[in-house]
Amino acid sequence: MSPFAELKREAYEANVALPRHGLINLTFGNASAIDRAKGAFAIKPSGVDYAALSPDDMVVVDLDGRIVEGRLRPSSDTPTHRKLFLAFAGVGGVVHTHSSHATAFAQAGRPIPIFGTTHADYFNGPIPVTRKMTAAEIAGAYEWETGNVIVERFAEIDPADFPGVLVNRHAPFAWGPSVAKAVETAVAMERVAEMALMSLALAPDLEPIEPELLARHFKRKHGASAYYGQV
């Protein structure tokens, strides 16, 4: 039996959860889970229909980008996932979708403003957007460079405080301590984007949430003083 059986199942469960949550159309999107001890992650194969996917189709790739296990070609976005695993030490899973509302903000190059407590339950401020990629980055190792512009955006902010990003002109990425948590954050990003879009329609100059309310909600679910959920 494969030493990656459990990791592949975890990645598989996350991948098939994406269309179930309405985050995916066609084959846009992928999820990966890492085993830090083994230095390898399991990721969706490229361009395979979600309905046809099985745990065994997952491809295991190490942190140098070599395929460790799997019959199929890994997602073309694998280098972006690899870069994020390398740069963000606490991350156990990465999710990429083209969910409609979050992608609308990414296309417009606008961060998702923080207007309420739903957002504050997941992000410690607006959901950041990367700078646009340069022609050289696009012409080069494009997917790896996509990871680079994400990491560059986090030079002065903590990926634990902001567990997701919008890649300019492209779409959202989310992450978390586990890939299941990253899926949850991807769902939250989409719903928060939808609500922000409607709040902006109602109040185009709406101010962000008050800092004390943001802090209260974010800390209710994160860090030492968290008191949400079961012990």
Site for a copy of itself in 46-85 (CB under 8 A): 46-48, 72-73, 76
For residue 59, the cross-strand partners are 43
CA distances to 4, 7, 32, 51, 95 from 37, rounded to whole Å, are 12, 12, 16, 31, 20
Could you say whether residue 178 binds a copy of itself (CB under 8 A)?
no
User: Least distance (Å) from a copy of itself to the CB of residue 211?
Assistant: 9
Binds a copy of itself by CB under 8 A, chosen from 117, 126, 154, 160: 117
Binds a copy of itself by CB under 8 A, chosen from 133, 149, 174, 189: 133
What's the burial of 52, exposed, middle or buried (CB within 10 Å: 0-12/13-18/19+)? exposed
Binds a copy of itself by CB under 8 A, chosen from 5, 63, 67, 110: 110
Could you say whether residue 37 binds a copy of itself (CB under 8 A)?
no
> Of 7-15, 62-70, 78-86, 210-218, which part binds a copy of itself (CB under 8 A)?
210-218
Query: Order of strands, edge to edge, in the sheet holding 172-176?
Result: 67-69, 59-62, 40-43, 30-35, 93-96, 172-176, 164-166
**Is 158 annotated as catalytic?**
no
Closest to 2 in 3D by CA, of 102, 63, 70, 61 = 70
Could you say whether residue 135 binds a copy of itself (CB under 8 A)?
yes
How close are the terminal C-alpha atoms of the chain, in Å? 34
Could you say whether residue 16 binds a copy of itself (CB under 8 A)?
no
For residue 42, the cross-strand partners are 33, 60
**Is 228 annotated as catalytic?**
yes
> Of 6-14, 84-92, 127-135, 154-162, which part binds a copy of itself (CB under 8 A)?
127-135
**Angle at Cα 139 formed by Cα 135 and Cα 143, nearest 5°?**
105
Interface with a copy of itself by CB under 8 A: which residues? 25-26, 28, 45-48, 72-73, 76, 98, 100-101, 103-110, 115-118, 121, 132-133, 135, 138-139, 142, 169-171, 184, 187-188, 191, 194-203, 206, 209-210, 212-213, 216, 220, 227-231
So which residues are the catalytic ones?
121, 228
